Amino acid sequence: MKVCIYGAGAIGGHLAARLIAKGDCEVSVIARGPMLDAWRTKGVALHTEGRVIGGKPAFATDDPASLPPQDLVVVTLKAPSQPAVAAPLARLLGERGVALFAMNGLPWWWNHGLDAGGPLDLLDPGGALWNGVGPGRALGGVVNSSNQVTEPGVIVHTGTKRWIMGEPDNSASARLKRVVDLFSAAGLDGALSTDIRRDIWRKLMTNISGNPVAALTRLVAKDVATVPGLDEVAIALIDEALAVAAAHGCDLRGEIGGAALARPAKGRAPGKSSMLQDVEAGRAVEVDAIMGQVQVFGREKGVATPVIDTVCALLRGLDLSMKLAREAAGAK
């Protein structure tokens, strides 16, 4: 089985390390910059559960066209980067390949099989992914795992390692079972979901509070919890998102509450959220997948989201300031 990790950073690198160590499939990685150099020269070293595993992939490249068609492509690129790779991704899948999108927030294929139908303009402008890759070739993924690249080729993992995967039509398809079994055999806690949108909403409730607040304050969770008023912001973000989810047919309010989900941050380890890592590195942040599309969904159903509206605007301002800084640095 040929497996390609498209975007082999912290999450993708963790997965690649486990698949390489298990040796049950041919692993290729698509990366760039110092990470690509590391993949080519020494491979990856994943520090997890008191041991180090990994190795070198069969192929490491920044050019998807240099790889043969793949059976499975695991896309771990952040949501803002995905539409731009629709064409090379489609070529990489060939005639029979399937793509697993493992990302934070709401995915571009969300409307597949729903009455609404069609691409989400905010996440997939012009329908590049919808028309190029096709939602029928997508699997949804929810990753509960904390990982950080400490240096090129070195990834440190803490906490859980759970990958929840599902079909957009919620079926337990043969292709989905193969992927779950492959990941589980490699040492991940693979789980087959028969309601992947519900699992995505559930994970979003943590992301929509923890990620934006950390990015805007540049504080880890344990320090956010010491600032009066910030936990109230996090709670409001969650409660508003829960109301939007309920209006769209997924009512989680019986099992999740903003206060219960946000306040335990006081006891969390000082890990950095993915969005905080992006801000510190000057990378684009996942504003629309984590907040913007929730805002759109709320407006479609007449659900008021005043705190989401405010924080989303601030986050977009931060994202723009980093983009301008990158452009200024590139012009020098």
Which positions ≥6 away from 299 have C-beta within 8 Å?
305
Q: Which of 56, 203, 222, 272 is catalytic?
A: 203
Torsion of CA 144, 248, 128, 14, to 10 degrees: 0
- Give the CA angle between residues 112, 184, 86 to the nearest 5°: 35
Q: Give yes or no: 222 in active site.
A: no
Q: What is the DSSP letter of 82?
A: S
Q: What is the DSSP letter of 115?
A: S
The CA distance from 311 to 305, in Å, is 10
Cα–Cα nearest to 200, from 103, 295, 118? 103
Cα–Cα nearest to 155, from 18, 4, 28, 5? 18
Query: What are the residue numbers of the active site?
Result: 203
